[in-house]
Amino acid sequence: MIRLFNHQPSTTSRLFWRSCVTRYHYYSTEKPSFDGTTPAFSKIACIGTGKMAHALLKPMITTGFHPAKDFTVFDVSTNLMEQVSNELGVQTAESIPEAIEGADFILCAVKPQNLNAAFFAEFRKAQPHPNAILLSVIAGKTIDVFHHTHINKIVRSMPNTPAQVGEGMTVWSCTPNLTGSDRNLIQTVLSTCGHSMYVDDESYIDMATSISGSGPAYIFLLMESMIDGAVHMGFPRDKATTLVYHTMLGSTLYAMESGEHPAILRNMVTSPSGTTASALYELENGKIRTVIKDAMWACYRRSLEMGNHDSNVGPGRSQTPHVVHAATPDSELSSDDEEVVRQR
Ligand SMILES: O=C(O)[C@@H]1CCC=N1
């Protein structure tokens, strides 16, 4: 069952904030499961068997979305490929063409630097299903790049590593030729490893890379810093780790469930002349907000660079991305699509 938080706001500003936070954000209390009686695809190929590929493949199998026998994987690293095959029970291929031969769903999870002319030359040797959909999880690489393949239906996505525990957040966009049912299918695939958000303008994926894609690394750094701070004071590391994990998890659930703006929740912790005020003073003195925003801009610029796009964006730079990309993330969704998005 999926819980959707949809409380009634009491003021205009709360209405605005809540419309931002409840539109897509959910906490799933149970993972989806499938009975396997109506398989969505005839063959699923996965090129690249690194961490992200593993994070997406495993739940597709464990939720019963597709049996392991329907998957064929290929990786230039035979060791890695064998490891994934042994763990998940999927078939292996000796080449990219062998993996994608007859496949109607192709997961492309190679490293960005390996998406080169040689890769595409290999790719074009195969005969995938004529109606095949290719889903890329490769950072920075735009949909255009995949026109070097002979696949017409392309999905570009940016997942994140919490997909490993079914709490991923994947942002995705696609070529206009994906039908409504193709898009629903993509939502379903992504639902096996967590939450998803469709964006009609692919440039939002570069921005999302700096939010949800790389975001887990920022959170882990914050976790580490708090744990180390606690140890510095004399707290046992395991106990400190428990306190930090539950503080992060509890704060996130509280923010989502209350629907309040984080500033309101922060003020509620902060007593006059109290301990939190002292801590917040130091954080602001260290320019924590600007440091975080600068890090996100750097991440966004790097994603644009990896796609060979003009990356001169951000404070004090020549490009203003919000002018270039005027659409909103969901402006082109049909009401049916929106419903699908809401249900995840
Ligand atoms: O660091 C990277 O390039 C990838 C993309 C998002 C998360 N990791």
Mean pLDDT estimate for the chain: 87
Domain assignment present for 155: yes
Amino acid code (one letter) for 100? I
Q: Is 209 in the pocket of ligand 1 (CB under 6 A)?
A: yes
Amino acid code (one letter) for 172? W
Domain assignment present for 5: no
Two structure tokens written together for 190: 């992504």
Question: For atom 1 of ligand 1, which residue has the closest CA?
Answer: 214
Residues 199 and 243 in one domain: no
Q: Residue 240 C-alpha to ligand 1 middle, in angstroms?
A: 28
- The pLDDT of residue 34 is 84
Residues 175 and 228 in one domain: no
Q: Residue 191 C-alpha to ligand 1 middle, in angstroms?
A: 21
| Total domains present in the chain | 2
Residues 29 and 151 in one domain: yes
In our burial notation (b when 16+ CB lie closer than 10 A, e otherwise), range 9-36 reads: eeeeebeebbeebbebbbebeebbebee
What CA–CA distance (Å, rounded) separates 28 from 8? 20
pLDDT at 202 over 60: yes
Residues 237 and 331 in one domain: yes
Residues 105 and 37 in one domain: yes
Which residues make beta-bridge pairs with 198? 172
Assess contact for 96 and 124: CB atoms under 8 A: no
Q: Residue 213 C-alpha to ligand 1 middle, in angstroms?
A: 6
Q: Is 214 in the pocket of ligand 1 (CB under 6 A)?
A: yes
User: Which residue, 206, 229, 246, sits at the end of a domain?
Assistant: 206
pLDDT at 252 over 90: yes
Q: 250: which DSSP letter?
A: H
- The pLDDT of residue 39 is 83
Pocket test for ligand 1, best of 172, 210, 214 (most atoms within 8 A of CB): 214
Q: Higher confidence at residue 281 or residue 38?
A: 281
Residues 89 and 191 in one domain: yes
User: Which residue, 189, 206, 223, sits at the end of a domain?
Assistant: 206
3-12, 13-22, 224-233, 318-327: least confidently modelled range = 3-12
Annotate 173-222 with DSSP letters as a single string.
Answer: EE-TT--HHHHHHHHHHHHTTEEEEE-SSTHHHHHHIIIIISHHHHHHHH
Q: Residue 214 C-alpha to ligand 1 middle, in angstroms?
A: 5
Count of H helices and E strands in the chain? 14, 10
The number of residues making up the chain comes to 344
Q: How confident is residue 240, by pLDDT bands cut at 50, 70 and 90?
A: very high
pLDDT at 20 over 80: no
Q: Residue 268 C-alpha to ligand 1 middle, in angstroms?
A: 35
Give the domain CATH number at 160: 3.40.50.720
Assess contact for 128 and 187: CB atoms under 8 A: no
- The pLDDT of residue 35 is 76
Give the domain CATH number at 287: 1.10.3730.10
What CA–CA distance (Å, rounded) separates 176 from 26? 27
- The pLDDT of residue 316 is 84
Phi first, then psi: give them for residue 4, nearest 5 degrees: -110, 120
Can you give the residue range of the structural domain that contains 194? 25-206
Amino acid code (one letter) for 195? H
3-state class of 171 per DSSP? strand
What CA–CA distance (Å, rounded) separates 278 from 167? 34
Q: Is 63 in the pocket of ligand 1 (CB under 6 A)?
A: no
Residues 194 and 65 in one domain: yes
pLDDT at 5 over 60: no
Q: Residue 47 C-alpha to ligand 1 middle, in angstroms?
A: 18
- The pLDDT of residue 322 is 52
> Crossing angle for the helix pair 275-285 and 288-306, nearest 10 degrees?
50
Q: Is 186 in the pocket of ligand 1 (CB under 6 A)?
A: no
Q: Is 139 in the pocket of ligand 1 (CB under 6 A)?
A: yes
First to last CA, the chain: 10
* ipTM value > 0.90: yes
Phi first, then psi: give them for residue 330, nearest 5 degrees: -120, 15
- The pLDDT of residue 107 is 98
Instruction: Burial-class residue 290 by CB neighbours within 10 Å (0-12, 13-18, 19+).
Output: exposed
Q: Is 159 in the pocket of ligand 1 (CB under 6 A)?
A: no
Residues 141 and 269 in one domain: no
Q: Of 5, 26, 21, which Cα lies nearest the Cα of 262?
A: 21
Domain assignment present for 1: no
User: Which residue, 179, 206, 233, sits at the end of a domain?
Assistant: 206
pLDDT in tens, 35-71: 767 788 999 999 999 999 999 999 999 999 999 999 9
37-51, 57-71, 192-206, 318-332: least confidently modelled range = 318-332
Residues 69 and 200 in one domain: yes
pLDDT in tens, 127-173: 999 999 999 999 999 999 999 999 999 999 999 999 999 999 999 99
Q: Is 212 in the pocket of ligand 1 (CB under 6 A)?
A: no
Residues 262 and 175 in one domain: no
24-38, 89-103, 112-126, 214-228: least confidently modelled range = 24-38
Q: How confident is residue 270, by pLDDT bands cut at 50, 70 and 90?
A: very high
Residues 196 and 146 in one domain: yes
